[in-house]
Chain A
Amino acid sequence: MSLSTLLVLADGRLPSGAHAHSGGVEAAVSAGRIHDLPTLESFLVGRTATTGTVAAAFAAATCRALTSGRSGVGTVPHARDEATPSDGDGARLAERVAALDDGIDVRTASPALRVASRAQGRALLRAVTRIWPAATNPAGPNPHHPIATGIAAAAAGLGPGDAALVAVYGGLTGSASAAVRLLGLDPYAVHALVARLAPECDRVAADAAARADDPVDDLPAGSAILLDLDAEQHAIWEVRLFAS
């Protein structure tokens, strides 16, 4: 695993469309639920424990599916390490990734959030296929964002834990940066908050990697009703700054 490559993928400046998504912050700000640092902290903690944890788990599971035949990748040895890739493996891989993509669908009640997730997945995939042209993508052009994150990590030679970290950390910093832009919060104070929450990202990512082979129905499914309801309202706003 290359730490620098992980940084490339986790960098907010990666051209993957993230800057146009607030992770629900724009709607929560408008509803008055985020208005200062403490309310932002509650939001980020809650989001990390629900949506962030789901994204991490599915990114890790996707990456695991794509890298399990590859030696020296990933943190947990896998039964298929010995197997020679074959057409049957390819079919099983495509089936697992499709099931994971469905898994995000059935965990995302809000149609607006499903659209936003696929838009971000598509954008990330666009970046990945330009940066790592040999990327394997069994998921079609518009995968959910966590699936695309797993594909990206695998293409970059990273493992499931890295994929999970990119997913949960990206969700955290994306939301935090949207709050800085929307509320004019002190960027140092917000980054101090992000730094305080970083160990939680590590914990979520480690858990995601440990469960990367679980059946899809057993993967995390923490639901955030307010994010769903906000997203549906936000999608019909006349005027908005962020796509989601």
Chain B
Amino acid sequence: MRAEARLVAEADGHGGTRLSTVYGEPPLLPRRTGHQQNQTAAEVHLVGGAAGPLGGDDLRIHLTVGAGAHLVVRTIAASLAQPSHPPAPSTLTITARVAAGAILDWLPEPTVAVRGCDHLSRSIVDLNEGATLRWREELVAGRHAEAPGDLRLETTVRYAGRTILRHDLAIGPRAKGWHAMLGRAAGTLLLVGKDAATAGPRAVNRMPLACGPAALVSATGPDARTVRAALDEGAANTLAHDPDAKPGNWRKG
């Protein structure tokens, strides 16, 4: 299945955020959900995530955040990357553009690599100088006690035209020795913003990147809950941190 979703957020001129485009094709169904604690942000949940991606899917999500706007995107449940019959690879491509003075929070639930899946999730994020970003990626190797299929998250983040983070997280049969490098569940939370790299006290798993006002919070663990708690802990004390996140509150945070 081929499907596309587009979200465009703009400043509403009154200190808040207006969604000028909320478009999605099944299974990418965006729902405006408001944002409880933060009146200035617009929040969207992608509600179709649990159904896939399925082998053969080609899914695209485009996010645009204009100057002064704050967009929060979440999914309502973990995505299960599943195989198809006959087997075919699935891809999810996420592109995001964030203007100066804008904030994007991409905080989806984890992607679970179901046995036999062959999924690639590719993210390309372009930040103008002065943009703020929270970008979370989490993966889980199979459902309970299940050997995972191939799941690969490829991420490129640019700030002011310069690449500041390039990393691929891969699990499954093609990713040799993955369990010794990532563990059964793993995740990263990229923080880009004024104090992302410098806020103290510095958590050991919040690592200032070489370029840009950016830090990568990383975690691994036996399950998604442990990983989420460690990501939230690592991001605590940063202005770039999600105000809704509470350690251990992995559905919401």
Contact = CB atoms under 8 A, between A and B. Distances in A.
B204 A233 contact: yes
Nearest to A104: B210
Interface residues of B, number: 33
Nearest to A51: B181
Contact of A225 (B156, B163, B186): B186
A103 B176 contact: no
B180 A232 contact: no
Contacts of B166: 103, 106-107, 217, 221
A178 interface: no
Contact of B205 (A47, A222, A232): A232
Interface string B125-167: 0000000000000000000000000000010100000111111
A102 B211 CA distance: 9
A229 B204 contact: yes
Majority secondary structure of chain B interface residues (helix, strand, loop or mixed): strand
A16 interface: no
Interface string A215-239: 0110011111111110011001000
A236 B181 CA distance: 21
B167 A221 contact: yes
B231 to A, nearest CB: 11
Contact of A223 (B162, B168, B176, B204): B168
B209 A229 contact: no
A46 B211 contact: no
Interface string A7-48: 000000000000000000000000001000001001111111
B178 interface: yes
A229 B205 contact: yes
Contacts of A200: 176
Interface residues on A, range: 35 or more
Nearest to A235: B204
Question: Which of B163, B166, B175, B205 has its CB near the most chain A CB atoms (within 10 A)?
Answer: B166
Contacts of B186: 225
A225 B188 contact: yes
A105 interface: yes
A70 B50 CA distance: 55
Contacts of A236: 204
Contacts of B163: 102-103, 106, 216-217
A105 B216 CA distance: 13
Interface string B203-230: 0110111110000101110000000000
A232 B154 contact: no
A191 to B, nearest CB: 19
Contacts of B219: 225, 229
Given A47-B181, A217-B156, A226-B181, A232 B204 contact: yes
Contacts of A129: none
Contacts of A217: 156, 163, 166
A45 B209 contact: no
Contacts of B164: 106
B219 to A, nearest CB: 7
A45 B209 CA distance: 26
B170 interface: yes
Contact of B167 (A42, A44, A109): A109
Contacts of B162: 102
B168 A43 contact: no
**Across the A-B interface, the 4 shortest Cβ-Cβ residue pairs:** A46-B177, A45-B177, A105-B210, A224-B181
15 contacts: A45-B176, A47-B177, A49-B176, A102-B211, A105-B209, A106-B209, A108-B210, A109-B188, A111-B208, A114-B210, A217-B166, A222-B175, A224-B182, A225-B219, A232-B205
